[in-house]
A and B are shown apart, each in its own frame.
Chain A
Amino acid sequence: AQSVSQHNHHVILSEAASLELGCNYSYGGTVNLFWYVQYPGQHLQLLLKYFSGDPLVKGIKGFEAEFIKSKFSFNLRKPSVQWSDTAEYFCAVNAVGTYKYIFGTGTRLKVLA
């Protein structure tokens, strides 16, 4: 069965610090990968997605993620976080050809001004 692990449940950073959130999945076939963000009081929004091609994908608001197939990982990064990045971040995996999306348990990020 597919599963997604997000290792960090809570992360606290100061503004301008670098961010890396881990995401690992278990599935042997071809996958589509996503990162979503949920700002306080708002709905989930797509940050970035990987379907194929360049394993380094860039998303909105300066976020990027790297797909490392050999490690089954899709870690999210941002060189310098801002207070407005305070939110909950979810990694999601979809097996190609299926309609099911599996979400990780989420990481709550708090950025201190």
Chain B
Amino acid sequence: DGGITQSPKYLFRKEGQNVTLSCEQNLNHDAMYWYRQDPGQGLRLIYYSQIVNDFQKGDIAEGYSVSREKKESFPLTVTSAQKNPTAFYLCASSRVPGRRTNSNQPQHFGDGTRLSIL
């Protein structure tokens, strides 16, 4: 079955340490996204990528970095500069708008990675 795989499910980070969250999709989607979910704040966009080797900052990109070397993969690195990294991180993907419509397709989400600080 096609879908999005995030790993690991749980991750612990020590102070001053960088950690990388994995996101792989086999849906052949061009666009991929990283969100952070905190209680009472909904989903906030960290980074998104429309195509391989291209990505844009979202609303809360500080302290995070991404790469998009392959269509299927969009890893997120939480750097030591992120002062409050404890959160639930969600990866998503979507198709791009078709030629005859401006409508974006719905996003498909992974199961998430819960990051905690030791």
Seen from chain A, the residues whose Cβ lies within 8 Å of a Cβ on chain B are: 4, 6, 9, 30, 32, 34, 36, 42-46, 49, 51-52, 90, 92, 94, 96-106
Is the pair A90, B106 in contact by a Cβ cutoff of 8 Å? no
B50 adjacent to chain A (CB < 8 Å): yes
B85 within 8 A of A: no
Counting CB contacts under 8 A, is B107 at the interface?
Answer: yes
Which residues of chain B have C-beta atoms less than 8 A from A99's C-beta? 31, 48, 50, 56, 96, 104
Chain A nearest CB: distance from B85 CB in Å?
20
Complex Cα–Cα for A49 and B95 (A): 15
A103 engages B42 (CB within 8 Å) = yes
Find residues 32-50 in chain B having any chain A CB closer than 8 Å to their own CB: 33, 35, 40-45, 48, 50
**Roughly how many angstroms separate A49 CA and B44 CA in the complex, as a whole number?**
20
Q: How far is the CB of B68 from chain A (nearest CB, A)?
A: 13
Q: Chain B residues in contact with chain A, CB under 8 A?
A: 31, 33, 35, 40-45, 48, 50, 56, 58, 90, 92, 96-97, 101-104, 106-107, 109-112
Total of A-B residue pairs, C-beta within 8 Å: 61
Q: Which of A90, A96, A97 contacts B43 (CB 8 A)?
A: A90
Chain B min CB distance to A77 (Å): 19
A109–chain B nearest beta-carbon distance, Å: 15
> CA A111 – CA B96 in complex, angstroms?
37
Q: 3 smallest A-B Cβ distances: which pairs?
A: A105-B42, A103-B43, A51-B103
Q: Are A106 and B104 in contact (CB under 8 A)?
A: no
Residues of chain A with a CB closer than 8 A to B48's CB: 99-100
Contact of A44 among B50, B58, B109 (CB under 8 A): B109
Shortest C-beta distance, A84 to chain B (Å), equals 19
Q: How far is the CB of B19 from chain A (nearest CB, A)?
A: 21
In contact, B102 and A30 (Cβ under 8 angstroms): yes
Cross-chain contact A100 with B110 (CB below 8 angstroms):
no
- Quick one: closest A residue to B58, CB to CB? A100
